[in-house]
Amino acid sequence: MVTSQSDVLISNGMKADTVTVLENAFAAITAKSNEQTSFQQQRKAFTSENKGLYKELYTYISEVAKLGKIIFQGEQKASEYTLENLIAMVHSSKGNNGGNPAQEKKPS
């Protein structure tokens, strides 16, 4: 629209290079939009892949908890085989308490 009416617009005060500036700006915006779309698609692919991995991990931890409860049935140790306790042990193993969730520092 601007290009087809550029003679009229220039005669009414528009700078002569405005059409070029607008075309360059449009090209830059389009390139950034395409880049953003690409990043969003990559993130969506990573999220989909991670969902599957987390589901597999959850299934594995659930099996460990189930088998631990069976193996240690009737013993105090059986109560340690819950998802909550197993996850706490995973998180606490990152600290310096030797993997003992009882020694884990609780947030204040």
Question: What pLDDT digit, counting tens, does each position of 26-74 carry?
Answer: 999 999 999 999 999 999 988 888 888 888 888 888 888 888 888 888 8
Cα–Cα separations (whole angstroms), residue 68 to 49, 90, 94, 97, 103 = 29, 16, 22, 22, 21
% of residues, the chain, pLDDT over 70: 84
The whole-model pTM stands at 0.44
Q: What is the pLDDT of residue 95?
A: 60
* Residue 88: burial class (beta carbons within 10 Å; 0-12, 13-18, 19+): middle
11-15, 24-28, 58-62, 103-107: which has the highest mean pLDDT?
Answer: 24-28
Q: What is the pLDDT of residue 99?
A: 45
Give the end-to-end CA distance of the chain in Å, rounded to a whole number.
Answer: 62
Q: Which residue has the tokens 């998180």?
A: 91
